[in-house]
Structure 1
Amino acid sequence: MPAVADIRLKVLLVDDQLSHRAALGAELQAMGHDVVEAGNAEDAVALFTSLRPDAVLMDVEMPGHNGHWAAQQIRRAEPEGWTPILFLSGRVSDADLAEGIECGGDDYLFKPVSPVVLAAKLRAMQRLCSLHRQLTSLTDQLRASNADLQIQSLHDPLTGLTNRRGLDIRLDEELRTARRERQPLTLILCDVDNFKAYNDTAGHLQGDQCLMRIAQLLGETCRRPRDLAARFGGEEFVILMPGTSHSGAMFYAKGLQRMVHQLALPHPASDGKTCVTLSGGITTCVPDGTTTIESLLSRADAALYTAKSLGRDRFFCFETQADSSTGQAELANYDREKSSTATLF
C-alpha cells in the first residue's frame, strides 16, 4: 500500500458559485488531488453515482435542493459503503452542524475555507481512504480464500472429482428436482475390479495413478451440464445422470465399459485379466416421497454386488418402481431369473 501522504483522492466539489469552485478546486489540485465539479445538488448525486469519488466537499445552501438533500441521496446510493462528506457553509451554529451530521455529513468547513484547515481535513480523508482500501483488499482476499476452501471441501484432492460431501449435496438437489418434475434419475456405482490386488502388487503410488486415470475418463464421459462424476471412496466412483432413462443408462454403461477396455491400463494381478476393468451397478427411478439418497445408493450397491458376483467387468442394472414403499433392494430377495428388466453385459 502507498504511504498515506501519497494517496491521490478523487474529490467531488459541489458549489453553485463558480468562483468558489474555481478557488477551492485550484487548492485541491495543488495538493495533488483530482477534482470533479458540480454546480447543484442533482448533478452532484448523478456524478457521485457514476464516478464514486473518494470524498465530497459540498456547499449547504444551493438553489433547488440543498446540500443536506444531496447528502441523503448519496447515503442511499451506497448502502454498503461510506464516502466522507464535508459540508461547506457560512452557518456556524450548533443546530446547523447537528442538522448536517444528521443528514449524512461527516464534518463542516466554515466559509471562507482556511487552506491549512482544508489540508488537515484532507489528510484525515487520506487516512480513511487508505484504511478503506486495505479493508477492501483484505475482504477480496478473504472472499477468494473462502471460495477456494469451498471448492476444496467439495472435491477429492487425488482425482479432482467431486467428493462424497459434494455428491451428497448434488444428490439431494437432483433428487428434489426429479421428484418435483417427475423425471427419471440414474445413479451408477462402479469400482475398479481387484483393486486391492493391484495395490498389493504395483504399490499404492501406482494405484493412485490408476485411480486418477479412471477418474479422468469418467469426468470426460459426463458431457451434459448436470451429469456428475464423483469419487465415492477408495476405488469406488459414482456417476449421477439426471433425466436419464433406464435404457439411456444402459447405453452409457456399455459405452463406458468399451472405453475402459480401449484405455488398456495394465493390471498386474487381475485373475487372468491383463488390463484394468470396471464393474458397476445401475439404478434408475422416478423418485417419489419415499425415495432417499440412502435408498438410491443401496439399490446401486446391490446391483454392483450382483455384477461382481457374476464375474466382474460388467454393469448390472435393474429397473426400480416409482411407487416402491421402501426403496430398498436386497440381493437375497432379488430373483434375477424372474426379472424382465435385468440386463447383463
Structure 2
Amino acid sequence: MSSEVHPGSPAAPLTILVVDDQNASRVALSAELDRCGHRVLEADSADWALELFRRHRPDLVLLDVEMPGHDGYWAAREMRAAEPGGWTPIIFLSQRDQERDIWQAIEAGGDDYLIKPVLGMVLHAKLRAMHRLAQMRERLVLLSDELRSANAQLHELSTVDGLTGLMNRRALDESLHSELELARREQQPLTLMLCDVDHFKRFNDRQGHVEGDACLRQVAQLLRDTCRRPADRAARYGGEEFALLLPRTPRSGAMTYARALMRLVAQRQILHPDSPVAPHITLSGGITTCVPDASTTAEGLLLRADDALYTAKAQGRNRFFSYEMQMDTEEQRPQLPR
C-alpha cells in the first residue's frame, strides 16, 4: 500500500479485520491502520477470518480475494450468513481489475472493491465513507426500534381499556372473530358471556364515581382471576358491562364457570347499600355456547349473549342465563336472603 498522505481517519476508532495470506501486505496495511488509531485483527486465511469475524464482530472487513483454500468471495458469503439482520462493511482488495471480478465481489456480499496497491488517501477515504454508512444504518435501526416500540404502545392503547386494564370492545371483537374461526375449523365449542353489575347507576349515585371506578376495577380483577387458561379472555364491553370469551368450553362448563364467578363476587363483599338484590354488588349475565358452523357469526353470538343477559335481569338479576341450556345459575344454588 502506498504511504501517500491522507486527510485523516474517522473520529471514532474502528475494529478492522484485515484478511490477506500475503504476510508483507497484511502487516503493512495493519501498521497503517494501527497508526491511525484503529484496532486491527489479522487473518491469513478465509477460515480464520470467519472465526475472528464471528468472535469479535468487527466494524469493517478488508478482504483479499485470492487466498489458498477458500477465497475471499467464500469468506464474504459466510460472513453475511453469520450476521442475519446485521451489516458489516466489506471492502475487497485485489490485483484483479476486470469488470467480472468487481461484479463477483459485490454478488458475494462486498460493498466496495479496491485495486492493489491501494493509495493511503484512497483507503482512508473509503474507511470514512463506510464509517458514515455504518453510522447511518445504526441510526435507522434505532429509529426502527423506536417506531416498533411506539407502534406497540399505540396498539396497546387501542386495545386495552384504560380503567380496568382488560381488553376493550375493539380487542374483544378481534378476538371473537379469530376464536370463532378457530372453533369452526376445529369443531370445538366456544362460549361467550356478557355480564354487568346489577343496579350500578344506584351504586354511582350513592358512592360517587370515584368509588364506582374502583368497583369496576375490582370486578375486572375478579374476571381476570377466573381466566385461568391462556386462551380465556376478559374484556370491558362498555360502561359496567363485561365480556368473557371462553374457547373450548361446553355448555356445562360455561355454567360451572358462571357459578364460580358468582361465588367470587359474593365472597368479595363489595358493599352496595342501595341494591334491591343484595347488600353487596352482584352480577347478571347471559351465556351462549355453540360449536360454530358456516352460519355462525360473531355478531350473532353477541346478540344471543346480550339477549340472555336481559333474560337474566328479567328473572330477578344476580344470575347467569343460558338459552342453550334453558336454565340459569339460580337453579343450581341455594336462594340468597333478600
| CA gap 1:89/1:235 in 2 versus in 1, 3 angstroms | same
| CA gap 1:161/1:76 in 2 versus in 1, 3 angstroms | same
Give the corresponding residue for 1:165. Answer: 170
Give the corresponding residue for 1:343. Answer: 328
> Distance between the aligned counterparts of 1:254 and 1:173, measured in 2?
27
Give the corresponding residue for 2:208. Answer: 203
Give the corresponding residue for 2:304. Answer: 299
| CA gap 1:99/1:220 in 2 versus in 1, 3 angstroms | closer
- Note the 1:129-208 alignment, pairs <5 A: 129-208=134-213
Alpha-carbon deviation of 1:232? 0.8
- TM-score, L = length of structure 1: 0.83
Tell me the amino acid that sits aligned with residue 342 of structure 1: M
| CA gap 1:34/1:268 in 2 versus in 1, 3 angstroms | farther
Give the corresponding residue for 1:248. Answer: 253
Question: SS where residue 86 of structure 1 aligns?
Answer: strand
Matched, 1:278 2:283: yes
| CA gap 1:343/1:117 in 2 versus in 1, 3 angstroms | same
Alpha-carbon deviation of 1:52? 3.9
Give the corresponding residue for 1:224. Answer: 229
Question: SS where residue 311 of structure 2 aligns?
Answer: helix
Alpha-carbon deviation of 1:197? 2.1
Aligned residues of 1:202 and 1:268 also touching (Cα < 8 A): no
- Note the 1:1-345 alignment, pairs <5 A: 5-45=10-50, 47-48=52-53, 51-75=56-80, 80-91=85-96, 100-101=105-106, 104-271=109-276, 273-319=278-324, 341-345=326-330
Question: SS where residue 105 of structure 1 aligns?
Answer: coil
Question: SS where residue 323 of structure 2 aligns?
Answer: strand
* CA displacement 1:101-134 (0-9 Å, x = unmatched): 5654333444344444433332222222222221
> Distance between the aligned counterparts of 1:255 and 1:112, measured in 2?
82
Tell me the amino acid that sits aligned with residue 31 of structure 1: C
Runs (4+) of structure 1 exceeding 6 A deviation are none
Tell me the amino acid that sits aligned with residue 274 of structure 1: P
Give the corresponding residue for 2:336. Answer: none
> Distance between the aligned counterparts of 1:12 and 1:200, measured in 2?
74
* CA displacement 1:239-266 (0-9 Å, x = unmatched): 1111112111111111111111111112
Tell me the amino acid that sits aligned with residue 261 of structure 1: A
- TM-score, L = length of structure 2: 0.85
> Distance between the aligned counterparts of 1:94 and 1:239, measured in 2?
67
Aligned residues of 2:269 and 2:280 also touching (Cα < 8 A): yes
> Distance between the aligned counterparts of 2:48 and 2:159, measured in 1?
49
Tell me the amino acid that sits aligned with residue 249 of structure 2: T
RMSD (Å), alpha carbons: 2.6
- After TM superposition, the structure 1 stretch with the greater mean CA deviation from structure 2, 37-46 or 282-291, is 37-46
| CA gap 1:92/1:318 in 2 versus in 1, 3 angstroms | closer
> Distance between the aligned counterparts of 1:99 and 1:272, measured in 2?
82
Alpha-carbon deviation of 1:202? 2.7
Aligned residues of 2:198 and 2:283 also touching (Cα < 8 A): yes
Alpha-carbon deviation of 1:233? 0.9
Aligned residues of 2:196 and 2:240 also touching (Cα < 8 A): yes
Structure 2 spans left out of the alignment, 5+ residues: 1-8, 331-338
> Distance between the aligned counterparts of 1:344 and 1:69, measured in 2?
72
> Distance between the aligned counterparts of 2:279 and 2:147, measured in 1?
50
Aligned residues of 1:7 and 1:130 also touching (Cα < 8 A): no
Alpha-carbon deviation of 1:94? 6.7
Tell me the amino acid that sits aligned with residue 245 of structure 1: P
